[in-house]
């Protein structure tokens, strides 16, 4: 029982990070039907920069503030310089895939140049690695608990914002039909760029939480996590907050159970094969919906 | 064809047969060496370490008048970022440069294995300072002939596995191994298993793998815990060891942790802080002797004068980082092996240099205290050149002490 519970609790914790990343990807998907594949570099830049600042005696709140401001600015750059020009060309252009990835690789290269290429220690922000509670006799790290709590809070807040605020309704209107929303006087451009800013902020937050778990960060940090976040988003249904949460946690639990009961070498291989099977049966994921496009 | 024409033709053919463009091109200018290594990218600690060690060795040779009366030059220094394909491209460029007379191998096993075939086909002497896979030098096993022109001073994983296997089998009956899922990691795990079972046939050995940069190792640890492991042996690099140590702490798994030399690098020591205390790992004896032997101290002084207390040396002047041994001093030894071979051969002709290197006996080194090769053995490092270190807390600093030679 302890064996199973340990794997499930860890799966939920690890999956919460995937869910947070998937939620960040959803934000830009809502407004532009695009994904920022450079999210991993934003995660890396924030956590790497944070570690660098704290090592150089910058206080934690200031370092976190700087990380978020820089990440927000990158969100603006992503929308203005990579996604918007690609979408303007229309015709179902997939240019944004290359340009968001390209910007991510550029950020990675710059980070390696300025911070160095080696892994550096990441400080503990919330709780120590030794802090834990016992759940049914199993030690459960408070660092993991924080990740779950923050993910749930963010996703719940986002859902409340979308459903019960005027601005949230405006975002949904843009998501449904941007041109019609523009005719209605909704500041579509502002909402679109804001979605990229919010998406980048979530990536930054996910980066800080994941780096604290691992304990080190380097310039390659984040790329694998974004891939898993993307898979979580697709599994749950791209564009759905509940789907991101479900997909992330399901992916986390499946990989841990496969690793624990079948083989750690096949942890990702078997888990991904299972996901392919699920997606073959449910192409829009568990919470996705079919889209009807105008001719 | 008359007799004179025939003899003249035969003489030309004969001259062409013995003529070596590398030796010819090198007859006047500096003696040129080449290397490809990870100078940038996430693994540049390996390549930059090689470059720094090689530079110091070359400076020493040049200060002493060079070799064969000529200056020594690191003529081709190419960046492969530890990517095997790029290492192959770089090595092609190096081998196409007929001025290069000897080559220092890329860092770890991936790129070195990728280039070794082309280097063997070329025939110029090649020295490995970091890659731990034994087949780089002895492709068919340690008892079989080595590649003719490939030499190694690197800590081999077989030596480390033997040392670790001996150490843990002396104290424990149920041993858990966690290794990275690379060929290096899998080979290391297998060799440790063989070493343990060779000493203690009734021991239980359970092995698990992880992917590099994994963010969590819960599944691996709970499987070892369920198998009843009394000790964990880690084969991998420090950043991943940080994840392992932190996951052990979160799961309250208080088993002793042993590991290969990659375990106790800077990323691990900084990443886990005091959690490193008690961790044991193999490493070269190089920095385990205090006070340092004169040759080691002289190298350290030169290093610090040239590069300062950098990331390779560490902040503590009296206690340089132990990871310097495999990362930097191996390349220093390699350059000395290659240039000593050229000096003793009295030529840069590859076969003569290779023969001279095979005659190397009791040559003082840093990573390998006494370097020796033979036609049958091209690997200088042996388990006796390893010690087991333990991380201890001294004041507010973490330090590594030799606990077993």
Taking only the tens place, the pLDDT of each residue in A48-64 is 999 999 989 999 999 99
Total beta-carbon pairs less than 8 A apart between chain A and chain B? 107
Residues B147 and B197 in one domain: no
pLDDT of the residue at B1: 46
Q: Tell me, rounded to whole angstroms, the distance of Cα B22 from its chain centroid.
A: 27
How many other C-beta atoms lie within 10 A of the C-beta of residue B360?
19
> Which CATH number covers residue B84?
3.40.50.2300
pTM, 2 dp: 0.84
A-chain CB neighbours of B236 within 8 Å are none
Phi/psi-derived region of residue B145, left when phi > 0, alpha when psi is between -120 and 50, beta in every other case: beta
Residues B183 and B141 in one domain: no
pLDDT of the residue at B266: 78
pLDDT of the residue at B318: 86
pLDDT of the residue at A157: 95
Q: Do A139 and B251 touch (CB under 8 A)?
A: yes
Identity of the residue in A10, A221, A264 whose CB atom sits nearest the CB atom of B223: A264
- Closest chain A residue by Cα to residue B254: A130
pLDDT tens profile B212-253: 888 899 999 999 999 999 999 999 988 899 999 999 999 999
Pairwise CA distance, residues B187 & B111, whole Å: 17
Identity of the residue in A6, A117, A210 whose CB atom sits nearest the CB atom of B215: A210
Q: Do B42 and A121 touch (CB under 8 A)?
A: no
Residues B135 and B97 in one domain: yes
pLDDT tens profile B25-40: 445 689 999 999 999 8
pLDDT tens profile B361-381: 999 999 999 999 999 999 999
- Domain-embedded: residue B102: yes
Q: For B348, which DSSP code?
A: -
More confident residue, B240 or B45: B240
B contact test, residue of A131, A256, A259, A271 with most B CBs within 10 A: A259
Angle at which helix A267-281 crosses helix A241-257, to 10 degrees, equals 140
The distance of A222 to chain B (nearest Cα, Å) reads 10
Residues B283 and B345 in one domain: no
Is B45 at the interface with chain A, CB within 8 A? yes
The distance of B266 to chain A (nearest Cα, Å) reads 8
Residues B249 and B280 in one domain: yes
Residues B41 and B116 in one domain: yes
Pairwise CA distance, residues B286 & A152, whole Å: 52
Residues B175 and B210 in one domain: yes
Q: Do A213 and B220 touch (CB under 8 A)?
A: no
- Domain-embedded: residue B299: no
pLDDT tens profile B337-363: 999 999 999 999 999 999 999 999 999
pLDDT of the residue at B22: 47
Q: For B326, which DSSP code?
A: I
Pairwise CA distance, residues B108 & B128, whole Å: 9
Show the low-confidence residues of chain A (pLDDT under 50): 294-295
- Confidence class of residue B4 from pLDDT cuts 50, 70 and 90? low
Interface residues from chain A to B (CB-CB < 8 Å): 3, 6-7, 10, 14, 17, 112, 116-122, 129-130, 132, 139, 141, 143-144, 210, 213-216, 218-221, 224-225, 256, 259-260, 264-265, 267-268
Residues B109 and B86 in one domain: yes
Is B210 at the interface with chain A, CB within 8 A? yes
Has residue B123 got a pLDDT over 60? yes
Share of chain A above pLDDT 90, in %: 61
B-chain CB neighbours of A112 within 8 Å are 40-42
Mapped onto helix, strand or coil, the DSSP state of residue B192 is: helix
Annotated domain spans of chain A: 20-226
Q: Which domain holds residue B337?
A: 23-156+323-382
Strand partners, B71: none
Cβ-contact A51, A123 below 8 angstroms: yes
Is B82 at the interface with chain A, CB within 8 A? no
pLDDT of the residue at B44: 82
- Could you tell me the CA-to-CA distances from A240 to A251, B320, B400 in Å, in that order? 16, 53, 51
- Domain-embedded: residue B129: yes
ipTM for the whole complex? 0.89
Residues B46 and B143 in one domain: yes
CA torsion A41-A46-A47-A48 (nearest 10°) is 80
Pairwise CA distance, residues A73 & A56, whole Å: 23
Pairwise CA distance, residues A254 & A15, whole Å: 9
How many other C-beta atoms lie within 10 A of the C-beta of residue A178?
18
For residue B400, give the nearest of B325, B299, B298 by alpha carbon. B325
Q: Name the token pair of B169.
A: 């089998």
Cβ-contact B141, B118 below 8 angstroms: no
A-chain CB neighbours of B275 within 8 Å are 129
Cβ-contact B68, B128 below 8 angstroms: no
- Domain-embedded: residue B12: no
The distance of A120 to chain B (nearest Cα, Å) reads 6
A contact test, residue of B38, B41, B218 with most A CBs within 10 A: B218
Q: Do B222 and A214 touch (CB under 8 A)?
A: no
Has residue B269 got a pLDDT over 70? yes
Q: Is B71 exposed, middle or buried (0-12, 13-18, 19+ CB in 10 A)?
A: middle
A-chain CB neighbours of B213 within 8 Å are 220-221, 224
pLDDT of the residue at A21: 96
Pairwise CA distance, residues A10 & A219, whole Å: 25
B-chain CB neighbours of A143 within 8 Å are 250
Has residue B24 got a pLDDT over 70? no
Q: Which 3-state string (H, E, C) describes B77-130?
A: EEECCCCHHHHHHHHHHHHHCCCEEEEECCCCHHHHHHHHHHHHHHCCCEEECC
Specify the range with the lowest mean pLDDT, choosing from B7-16, B94-103, B348-357. Answer: B7-16
pLDDT of the residue at B66: 96
Task: Count how many domains chain B has.
Answer: 2
B-chain CB neighbours of A214 within 8 Å are 215-216, 242-243, 246
- Domain-embedded: residue B303: no
H-helix or E-strand spanning residue B374: none
Instruction: Tell whether omega for the bond before B291 is within 30 degrees of 0, i.e. cis.
Output: yes
- Domain-embedded: residue B7: no
- Domain-embedded: residue B314: no
Q: Do B226 and A210 touch (CB under 8 A)?
A: no
- Confidence class of residue B166 from pLDDT cuts 50, 70 and 90? very high
A contact test, residue of B246, B266, B327, B398 with most A CBs within 10 A: B246
- Confidence class of residue B112 from pLDDT cuts 50, 70 and 90? very high
Q: Do A6 and B218 touch (CB under 8 A)?
A: yes
For residue B31, give the nearest of B331, B343, B330 by alpha carbon. B343
Residues B152 and B165 in one domain: no
Q: Do A213 and B216 touch (CB under 8 A)?
A: yes
Q: What is the DSSP string of B377-400?
A: --B---GGGEEEEEEEEETTEEEE
Q: Do B40 and A112 touch (CB under 8 A)?
A: yes
Range among A227-236, B227-236, B255-264, B267-276 with highest mean pLDDT value: B227-236
Cβ-contact B136, B107 below 8 angstroms: no
How many other C-beta atoms lie within 10 A of the C-beta of residue A113?
11
Cβ-contact A155, A15 below 8 angstroms: no
Q: What is the DSSP string of chain A?
A: -HHHHHHHHHHHHHHHHHHHHHHHHHHHHHHHS---TTHHHHHHHHHHHHHHHHHTT--HHHHHHHHHHHHHHHHHHIIIIIIHHHHHH-TT--HHHHHHHHHHHHHHHHHHHHH-SS-EE----SS-TT-EEEETTEEEEHHHHHHHHHHHHHHHHHHHHHHHSHHHHHHHHHHH-HHHHHHTT--HHHHHHHHHHHHHHHHHHHHHHHHHHHSEE-TTTTHHHHHHHHHHHHHH-TT-HHHHHHHHHHHHHHHHHIIIII-STTHHHHHHHHHHHHHHH-TTTTT--------
């Amino acid at each position: 029982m302890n064996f199973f519970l340990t794997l499930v609790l860890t799966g939920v914790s690890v999956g919460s990070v995937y869910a947070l990343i998937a939620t960040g990807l959803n934000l830009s998907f809502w407004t532009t039907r695009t994904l920022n594949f450079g999210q991993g570099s934003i995660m890396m830049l924030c956590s790497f920069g944070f570690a660098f600042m704290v090592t150089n005696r910058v206080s934690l709140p200031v370092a976190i503030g700087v990380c978020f401001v820089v990440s927000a600015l990158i969100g603006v750059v992503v929308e203005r310089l990579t996604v918007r020009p690609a979408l303007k060309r229309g015709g179902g252009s997939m240019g944004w895939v290359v340009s968001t990835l390209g910007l991510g690789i550029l950020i990675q290269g710059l980070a390696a140049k300025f911070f160095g290429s080696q892994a550096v220690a990441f400080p503990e922000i919330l709780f120590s690695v030794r802090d834990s509670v016992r759940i049914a006799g199993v030690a459960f790290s408070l660092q993991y608990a924080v990740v779950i709590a923050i993910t749930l809070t963010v996703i719940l807040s986002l859902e409340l914002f979308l459903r019960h605020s005027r601005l949230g309704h405006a975002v949904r209107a843009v998501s449904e039909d941007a041109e019609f929303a523009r005719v209605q006087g909704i500041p579509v451009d502002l909402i679109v760029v804001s979605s990229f800013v919010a998406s980048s902020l979530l990536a930054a937050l996910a980066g800080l939480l994941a780096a604290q778990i691992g304990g080190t960060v380097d310039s390659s940090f984040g790329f694998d996590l974004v891939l898993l976040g993307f898979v979580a988003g697709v599994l749950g249904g791209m564009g759905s907050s509940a789907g991101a949460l479900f997909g992330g946690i399901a992916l986390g639990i499946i990989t841990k159970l496969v690793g624990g009961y079948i083989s750690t070498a096949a942890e990702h291989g078997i888990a991904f094969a299972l996901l392919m099977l699920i997606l073959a049966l449910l192409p829009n994921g568990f919470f996705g919906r079919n889209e009807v496009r105008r001719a | 064809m008359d007799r004179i024409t025939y003899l003249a033709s035969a003489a030309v053919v004969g001259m062409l047969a013995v003529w070596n463009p590398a030796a010819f091109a090198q007859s006047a200018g500096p003696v040129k060496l080449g290397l490809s290594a990870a100078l940038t990218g996430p693994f540049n600690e390996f390549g930059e370490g090689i470059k720094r060690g090689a530079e110091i060795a070359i400076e020493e040779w040049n200060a002493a008048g060079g070799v064969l009366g000529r200056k020594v030059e690191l003529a081709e220094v190419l960046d492969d970022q530890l990517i095997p394909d790029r290492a192959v491209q770089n090595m092609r460029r190096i081998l196409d440069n007929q001025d290069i007379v000897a080559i220092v191998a890329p860092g770890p096993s991936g790129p070195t294995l990728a280039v070794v075939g082309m280097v063997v086909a070329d025939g110029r002497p090649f020295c490995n300072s970091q890659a731990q896979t034994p087949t780089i030098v002895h492709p068919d096993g340690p008892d079989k002939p080595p590649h003719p022109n490939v030499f190694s001073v690197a800590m081999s994983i077989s030596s480390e596995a033997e040392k670790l296997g001996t150490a843990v089998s002396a104290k424990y009956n149920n041993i858990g191994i966690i290794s990275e899922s690379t060929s290096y990691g899998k080979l290391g795990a297998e060799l440790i298993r063989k070493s343990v079972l060779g000493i203690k046939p009734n021991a239980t050995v359970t092995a698990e793998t992880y992917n590099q940069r994994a963010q969590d190792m819960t599944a691996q640890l709970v499987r070892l815990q369920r198998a009843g492991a009394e000790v964990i042996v880690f084969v991998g690099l420090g950043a991943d060891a940080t994840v392992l140590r932190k996951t052990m702490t979160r799961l309250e798994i208080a088993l002793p942790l042993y590991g290969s030399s990659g375990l106790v690098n800077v990323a691990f020591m900084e990443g886990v802080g005091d959690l490193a205390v008690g961790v044991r790992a193999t490493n070269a004896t190089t920095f385990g002797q205090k006070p340092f032997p004169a040759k080691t101290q002289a190298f350290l002084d030169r290093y610090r004068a040239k590069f300062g207390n950098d990331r390779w040396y560490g902040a503590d002047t009296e206690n340089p980082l132990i990871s310097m041994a495999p990362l930097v001093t191996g390349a220093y030894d390699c350059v000395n092996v290659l240039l000593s071979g050229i000096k003793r051969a009295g030529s840069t002709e590859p076969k003569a240099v290779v023969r001279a290197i095979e005659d190397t006996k009791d040559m003082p080194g840093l990573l390998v205290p006494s370097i020796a090769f033979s036609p049958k053995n091209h690997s200088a490092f042996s388990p006796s050149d390893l010690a087991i270190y333990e991380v201890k807390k001294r004041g507010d600093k973490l330090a590594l002490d030799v606990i077993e030679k």
